[in-house]
Structure 1
Amino acid sequence: MSDASRQSFTDKAGSAMKPDSQKGTFEQAGDKIKGSMDNMASSVQPNSQKSGSQKMGDSLTNSSSGNSESLLDQAKNAVGMGNK
C-alpha cells in the first residue's frame, strides 16, 4: 500500500503496463504529470518517514538510485514495451 500522499501502486502499474501507443494524448500527459509529481514527492520525503511498502515501491519505480532508468522501465524495455 502506498503512502497517503503518493500515487497508488495500482495506478503506477496500470500506467506502466499500457504501451504509450495505446494511450491518447491526454492520458500520456496525465501519466507524465502524475509520475513527475510522485517522483518529486519521493525525493522530498525522507526514507525514515516512508512505510516499508513505499520504500520498496520507490526502489522499483524511481531512478533516484543513480541509474538512468527505473527497474520497471528496464523490464519494460527488455520485453519490448518501453520507449527504447
Structure 2
Amino acid sequence: MSDAGRKDFSDKLKEGVTPDSTKSTQQKVKETFTDTGDKIARGVQPDDQKSAGQEFTDKVGRSKDREVHGSAGGSILDKTKDALGLGDKH
C-alpha cells in the first residue's frame, strides 16, 4: 500500500526483480520518470505524515541512496551551497 501520489511498494518490487534487458525502452523511461517523482515526494512529505509502510520504504530508499551516492546527509540546499563554495566556513 502506498500513500496518495506515491509509487506502490509492489510496483517497486516488480520493477526491481525484472531484468532491464527484458524491459522495453518505454518501460525504462516510465520507471525513471515515476522513480524521480517518488523521490521528490519522499523528500517533500515529512515522515511523521506518512503511513508506516511508506515511512519504512522511504527510510530504506534514503539509506540506499546515501550508500550508492556517498551522501553524508544534509539538505539539497546545503549541498548546493557547499558545491558552490558558499557553505558553512567554520
Asked whether the two chains share a fold, i.e. TM above 0.5, the reply is yes
Which structure has the larger Rg over C-alpha atoms? 2
Q: Please, what TM-score do these two structures have when normalized by structure 2? A: 0.67
TM alignment of 1:18-29, pairs within 5 A: 18-29=18-29
Q: Deviation at 1:63?
A: 4.7
Counterparts in 2 of 1:8 and 1:20: CA distance versus 1, 3 Å: same
Where does residue 7 of structure 2 map in the other structure?
7
AA in 1 matched with 2:50: K
Structure-1 separation of matches of 2:40 and 2:63? 11
By percentage of residues, which structure has more helix?
Answer: 2
Counterparts in 2 of 1:65 and 1:32: CA distance versus 1, 3 Å: closer
Q: Please, what TM-score do these two structures have when normalized by structure 1? A: 0.71
Structure-2 separation of matches of 1:65 and 1:35? 12
Unpaired segments ≥5 residues, structure 2: 70-90
Q: Deviation at 1:10?
A: 1.1
Unpaired segments ≥5 residues, structure 1: 70-84
Counterparts in 2 of 1:37 and 1:52: CA distance versus 1, 3 Å: same
Could you say what the CA RMSD is over the residues aligned between the two structures, in angstroms?
1.8
Where does residue 44 of structure 2 map in the other structure?
44
Q: How many residues align?
A: 69
Q: Deviation at 1:51?
A: 1.2
Structure-1 separation of matches of 2:18 and 2:65? 25
